[in-house]
């Protein structure tokens, strides 16, 4: 038995992705693909409002 066998490994918290215009464009596309959304969702007023609000956040968004 080793000492390491008696300790749990605690995973590091996922660090938020730093903002860049490129990331801001890529993330919704990944979301669209991963959740099988129609491309028209990008034109929906509620989605546009969500993006508008999120673009003003300074310290990240917790859902």
pLDDT in tens, the chain (63 residues): 577 777 877 777 777 778 888 988 899 999 999 999 999 999 999 999 998 888 887 777 777
User: In this predicted structure, what is the pLDDT of residue 1?
Assistant: 57
Q: Where are the domains of the chain?
A: 16-58
How far is residue 39's CA from residue 28's CA, in Å, rounded to a whole number?
A: 10
What secondary structure does DSSP assign to 5-47, as a single string?
GGSPPPPPPPPPPPP-HHHHHHHHHHHHHHTT--GGGGG-HHH
| pTM, rounded to two decimals | 0.61
User: CA-CA distance, 29 to 25, in Å (whole number)?
Assistant: 7
């Amino acid at each position: 038995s080793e000492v390491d066998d008696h300790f749990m490994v605690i995973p590091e918290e996922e660090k938020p992705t730093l903002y860049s215009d490129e990331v801001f464009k890529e993330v919704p596309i990944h979301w669209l693909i991963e959740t099988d959304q129609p491309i028209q969702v990008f034109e929906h007023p509620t989605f546009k409002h969500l993006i508008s609000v999120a673009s003003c956040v300074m310290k990240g968004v917790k859902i």
